[in-house]
Structures are given as structure tokens and as C-alpha cells.
Amino acid sequence: MRGTFLLAGATATGKSAVVQYLAEQRGAALLSADAMLVYRGMDIGTAKPSQEERLRVPYYGLDCVTPAETFSSARWLESLAQSETAPLRFVTGGTGLYFSLLLRGLDPAPPVDSERRAALEALPLAELQARLAQRKVTLEDMQNPRRLIRALEILESGGSLPRGWGSKAKVKLPALLWPRALLHARIAERVRKMYQSGLLEETRALRTAYPEWSRTANQAIGYAEAGAVLDGKVTRVEAIEQTIIRTRQLARRQETYLRGQFEVTWIACSSSDTVPMIAERVWAVWEKEGAAKLATL
């Protein structure tokens, strides 16, 4: 078997373990499709594959930047390109946007200009809306400054807005799915383990190494709350609780994105399943559906 095979799914569904297992078994390379695993040193809170696991399988898409740097989806495409040489490649991760890039491509648009972005971010929402109104442009989501700003960046530099992935024919994507209640239990357990494994200490060390973090790294689930503990703003117990809640909310949004953007082949999991059992099901889906048809980038 050759080619690229994908496995999506919400956080804490066990994607990584399943794909690690399959990669070891089949001699594949792994590409992480995750916007947080790119941060060097953010290991415990992102549930990054261990050094041992990484020695057994070639990995791409990990540790691309420091927490002080700003990452971007365009930048992730570099990791994708690096992994091209592998004859058999498995891609897994929780960032649905990256699967969109992989399967649907990226319409031409100007890269982010940090000065222009900062200028737009300083504007009130009403001003952003007014500027779009001047250009007779309406977005679906006129309350969302993020999207208004990006639209203005593209328009003000002479580009035209992408048509939208959601409106195009959906592409197939396999994903793991747990009953919500079980997933919530898995999330709670995982967060507690992160604290037992030293998330606070890791955060403290990273803050020493990098006093200023990029906005995205700063907001990373687990690290934001651990930082609040270190600053004495919340207790450890409160931070654990808040991290669990934010992770649950992330998982819900991840599933919503997959449902909305892809024709998902859901691979159902239950509490009695082991990693090899789920891996077998994933492999069966991959064999049946064939290698992913990637967009030409």
C-alpha cells in the first residue's frame, strides 16, 4: 500500500495512538495535522508523541516553532511538503482546517502582513463592518472580527475572497467518534494526568525559556490555565476544571467542523475497545476507501 491516508477526530479520541500503532506495523511516516503540536517544548499539554514513539516512526509537523513565534496554516503546508518523500504516509490531528488545506487546497490570497493586521485589529467592530459595507461585501458572520479582518486584508491588497469550502462538493474523511459522555470522561482523565505528569512545571520552564509567547501559544488549552496557577490567579483545582471544560468545548467544535466540511466516515469507538481493535477498523476503512486524493497545492 502506498499513498496518504487520513484519520481525523476530536481531541482525546485516541487518534495518535491508533496511527502510531498502524505506522509501526506498516512502516509509514506520520504527519501531524495539529496547530498546537507545532510548538517546541509544549509536550505534556498537547499530548505530543513521546521521544520513544518518535524514534520508531518518522514524524513530520512537530516542533516547528517556539512558543514565542507565530505559526500559520500556510506554514503547516511546509511540513506537508517535507513529508512528500514518504511512500506511505498517515496524517492525523485535531485541526480540521489543516485537513481542509490537504483535501481542498488553498485559494490564492495574500499572506498576512503583520502591520496591516495590527492596524485592522485596532479598529472597532463597527468600523470593520463599515469598511466591508463600502465595498459592498457581506460575510455570513458579520459579528466576527477575525473573519472581517481577514476579508479586509485580502480585499485591501487587491485580492478577491475565496468562495468557501463548505459550498463545494464534500470530500471523504475518516474520523474516530466516541459517544459524547465517554469522550468527556476521557478528556477529564487526560487533563488530570497532564497535571500529574508535570504540566505546571513544564509551563514554568517554558516561561523561563520564552518570556513572551505568541498569541496562539498563550491561548493554548492547558497552558493558559497552568499559567494562571503560576500567577496565583486560580487554584490548581480550578485550573484543572477549566482546562477540562475548554477541552470539551474544543472537541465539540472539532466534530462540528468535520460534519460541516467533509463527508465523514465515522469510526465508532466504545469503552471496551483497545488500540489494536480500533486500528483494525481504521485500516479496513483505509483499504476500502483507498488513499486520499490530495488537492494540488
Partner RNA sequence: GGCGCGAUAGCCAAGCGGUUAGGCAGAGGACUGCAAAUCCUUUUAGAUCAGUUCGACUCUGAUUCGCGCCU
Nearest-angstrom CA–CA distance, 239 and 225: 5
DSSP state of 27: T
Q: Smaller CB distance to RNA: residue 14 or 94?
A: 94
Q: What is the DSSP string of 196-249?
A: HTTHHHHHHHHHHH-SS--HHHHH-TTHHHHHHHHTTSS-HHHHHHHHHHHHHH
Give the H or E element holding residue 3: strand 3-9
Tell me how far, at minimum, the Cβ of 195 lies from RNA, in Å: 13
CB of 170 to RNA, least distance (A): 11
Q: Write each residue from 207 to 246 as x if it is in contact with RNA (CB under 7 A), else as -, in one continuous string.
A: --------xx--xxxx----------------------xx
Cβ proximity to RNA, 42 vs 279, nearer residue: 42
Neighbours of 264 (CB within 10 A): 18
169 binds RNA (CB under 7 A): no
Residues 5-34 vs RNA: string with x where CB under 7 A?
Answer: ------x----------------------x
C-alpha cell at 84: 512528500
Spatial neighbors of 77 by CB under 8 A, at least 6 apart, are 101, 106, 297
Q: What are phi and psi of 288, to 5 degrees?
A: -70, -45
- Stretch of 82-90, 94-102, 198-206, 273-281 lying at the interface with RNA (CB under 7 A): 94-102
**Quick check: 111 binds RNA (CB under 7 A)?**
yes
Site residue total, RNA (CB under 7 A): 69
Contact status: 167 vs RNA (CB under 7 A): yes
Q: Judged by CB under 7 A, does residue 41 bind RNA?
A: no
What count of other Cβ atoms lies within 10 Å of the Cβ of residue 73?
A: 13
> What residue ranges bind RNA (CB under 7 A)?
11, 34-37, 45-47, 70-74, 94-98, 100, 104-109, 111-112, 117, 121, 140-141, 143-147, 149-150, 154, 162-168, 180, 184, 215-216, 219-222, 245-250, 252-257, 259-261
